């Protein structure tokens, strides 16, 4: 009995700790996500955690001009609504700047000049004069109102079409697609040879590839930039595709070889006995069977290229047709440092695709991670 009690208390503790940990891990992203849907004023005057509660604001509204008053029985009235856009809920109003919250909605305030003013909770005001009033300046109303939480897509519209993120999204796609697909094919052939073909120096090649896995990319920048300039490639898409292909190959070969070594040898042997060439074996047996490993690498490479900043800064120009999203965001961080509505929406435009890939294909990603770092996977 006591044992069971301790166990359930422990389960509670574990559940709470995990809940706390998960909260800690998603709150940062969530905060920015919420902010990307708030308007500029809301972001800069209140924390995002207040976004769901109604915000109270004070506003000064000028009522319609007395000239426009219409006769209503014995009195002349001016009517209208204190909220020029959207709805709101008036919590108090006043007619002088000294006492802006003197009256509750629905109460009647009497102006020193004699006319009577009332503002309803929904913002409708009514000013009644005993005689036909004159003048083009309307009565000033001080209104304290609760605005319901409001969210907008305007930030996204602005970053996509005015701040250039739309163009950068296209540029990022342009970099990512070839840089993901081309290394796969080159790596797959090499991985097959390293896994299933007899060749001298095979162990040495494998060791070399494991070594290249951790070579810092920085090593390649200066020599390759010189090389690209030397052969007339300069900074451009072709150069960055080649660079990403080169940088992705060690992991691609490593992952694919590890996977292919685990495929059943009997199938390959019997195909050889039946007279199939290595090219046929690769195409008809190895490639289809290796699909999970190919998918794993494709996801890795896609995420890595999509999220890369450094390689793009070195091998690609920063013109309108070449600046990728990460580069654009860094520029915005410099030029629009305090404009969180722009930064938040930009960040989420760039994050959306990887997150979708992540949640859609997580299985392959995890499998690839395991194959890449623990034997057997």
Partner 1 sequence: MNQLFFAVSTIIVGVFGCVAYFYFSNIVLDRVFPARGPNAGRNINRSTAIRPWLFVLPALLVLGLYLVYPVFSTFFLSMRDTSGDFVGAQNYVWLAGDEKFRESLGNNLLWLVIVPAASTFFGLVAAGLTDRIKWGSLAQSLIFMPMAISFVGASVIWKFIYDYRGENQGEQIGLLNALVQAMGGDAQAWITLPFWNNIFLMVILIWIQTGFAMVILSAALKGISEETIEAAYLDGATPLQIFFKIKIPQIWGTIAVVWTTITVTVLKVFDIVFAMTNGQWGTQVLANLMYDWMFRGSPDFGRGSAIVMVIMLLVTPVMVWNISNAHKENR
Q: Is 57 in the site for partner 1 (CB under 8 A)?
A: no
Q: Is 229 in the site for partner 1 (CB under 8 A)?
A: no
For partner 1, the binding residue among 120, 206, 271, 276 (CB under 8 A) is 206
Minimum CB–partner distance for residue 60 and partner 1 (Å): 19
Q: How far apart are CA 17 and CA 131, in angstroms?
A: 71
Q: Is 197 in the site for partner 1 (CB under 8 A)?
A: yes
Nearer to partner 1, 245 or 290 (CB): 245
Centre a 10 Å sphere on the Cβ of residue 291 and count the other Cβ atoms it contains: 11
Q: Which of residues 323-352 bind partner 1 (CB under 8 A)?
A: 326, 329-330, 333, 340, 343-344, 346-347, 350-351
Contacts of 168 (CB under 8 A, 6+ apart): 323, 324, 325, 327, 328
H-state helical runs in the chain: 2-36, 40-45, 154-161, 165-196, 202-212, 218-230, 237-261, 265-273, 278-280, 287-289, 291-307, 310-315, 325-335, 340-373
Q: Is 276 in the site for partner 1 (CB under 8 A)?
A: no
Q: Are 93 and 105 in contact (CB under 8 A)?
A: yes
Residues in the chain, overall count: 377
The helix/strand/coil state of 363 is helix
For partner 1, the binding residue among 90, 160, 169, 253 (CB under 8 A) is 253
For partner 1, the binding residue among 79, 278, 289, 317 (CB under 8 A) is 278
The helix/strand/coil state of 276 is coil
Closest CA to 242 of 303, 291, 178: 178
Q: How far apart are CA 103 and CA 117, in angstroms?
A: 10
For partner 1, the binding residue among 1, 4, 74, 199 (CB under 8 A) is 199
Q: Is 207 in the site for partner 1 (CB under 8 A)?
A: yes
Minimum CB–partner distance for residue 90 and partner 1 (Å): 23
Residue 110 forms beta bridges with which residues?
Answer: 116
The encoded tokens of residue 88 equal: 């709101």
Nearer to partner 1, 130 or 185 (CB): 185
Q: Is 354 in the site for partner 1 (CB under 8 A)?
A: yes
| Token pair 């190959």 in the structure block, residue | 249
Minimum CB–partner distance for residue 346 and partner 1 (Å): 8
Nearer to partner 1, 36 or 128 (CB): 36
Maximal C-alpha separation, the chain: 111
Helices 340-373, 154-161: crossing angle, 10 deg rounding: 80
For partner 1, the binding residue among 37, 103, 129, 306 (CB under 8 A) is 306
Q: Is 213 in the site for partner 1 (CB under 8 A)?
A: yes
Q: Are 336 and 21 in contact (CB under 8 A)?
A: no
Q: Is 96 in the site for partner 1 (CB under 8 A)?
A: no
Nearer to partner 1, 205 or 289 (CB): 205
Q: Is 230 in the site for partner 1 (CB under 8 A)?
A: no
Q: Is 41 in the site for partner 1 (CB under 8 A)?
A: no
Q: Are 52 and 149 in contact (CB under 8 A)?
A: yes
The encoded tokens of residue 148 equal: 């319901």
Q: Are 123 and 143 in contact (CB under 8 A)?
A: yes
* x/- track of binding to partner 1 for residues 3-32 (CB under 8 A): -------xx--xx-xx--xx--xxxxx-xx
Nearer to partner 1, 45 or 96 (CB): 45
Minimum CB–partner distance for residue 5 and partner 1 (Å): 14
Q: Is 268 in the site for partner 1 (CB under 8 A)?
A: no
Minimum CB–partner distance for residue 80 and partner 1 (Å): 31
Compute how many residues bind partner 1; rule: CB under 8 A: 112
């Amino acid at each position: 009995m006591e044992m069971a009690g301790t166990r359930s208390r422990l389960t509670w503790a574990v559940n709470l700790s995990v809940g706390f940990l998960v909260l800690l891990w998603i709150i940062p992203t969530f905060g920015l996500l919420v902010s990307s849907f708030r308007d500029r004023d809301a972001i800069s005057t209140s924390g995002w955690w207040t976004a769901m509660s109604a915000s109270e604001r004070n506003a000064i509204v000028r009522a319609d001009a007395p000239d426009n008053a219409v006769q209503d029985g014995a009195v002349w009235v001016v009517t209208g609504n204190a909220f020029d856009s959207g709805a709101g809920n008036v919590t108090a109003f006043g007619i002088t700047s000294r006492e802006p919250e003197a009256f509750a909605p629905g109460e009647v305030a009497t102006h020193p000049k004699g006319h009577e003013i009332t503002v309803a909770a929904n913002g409708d005001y009514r000013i009644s004069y005993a005689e036909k009033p004159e003048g083009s300046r309307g009565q000033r109303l001080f209104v304290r109102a609760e605005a319901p939480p409001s969210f907008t897509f305007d930030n996204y519209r602005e970053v996509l079409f005015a701040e250039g993120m739309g163009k950068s999204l296209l540029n990022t796609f342009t970099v990512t697609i070839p840089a993901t697909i081309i290394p796969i094919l080159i790596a797959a052939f090499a991985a097959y040879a390293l896994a299933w073909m007899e060749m001298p120096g095979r162990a040495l090649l494998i060791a070399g590839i494991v070594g290249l896995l951790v070579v810092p990319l920085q090593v390649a920048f200066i020599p390759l930039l010189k090389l690209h300039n030397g052969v007339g490639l300069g900074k451009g898409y072709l150069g960055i595709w080649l660079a990403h292909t080169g940088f992705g190959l060690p992991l691609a070969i490593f992952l694919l070889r590890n996977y292919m070594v685990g495929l059943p040898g009997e199938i390959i042997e019997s195909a050889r006995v039946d007279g199939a060439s290595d090219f046929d074996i690769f195409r008809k047996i190895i490639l289809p069977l290796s699909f999970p490993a190919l998918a794993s690498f494709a996801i890795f490479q896609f995420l890595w290229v999509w999220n890369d900043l450094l390689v793009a800064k070195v091998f690609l120009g920063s013109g309108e047709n070449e600046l990728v999203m990460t580069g654009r965001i860094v520029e915005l961080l410099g030029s629009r440092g305090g404009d969180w509505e722009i930064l938040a929406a930009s960040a989420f435009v760039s994050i959306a695709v990887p997150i979708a890939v992540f949640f859609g294909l997580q299985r392959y990603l995890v499998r690839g991670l395991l194959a890449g770092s623990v034997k057997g996977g």
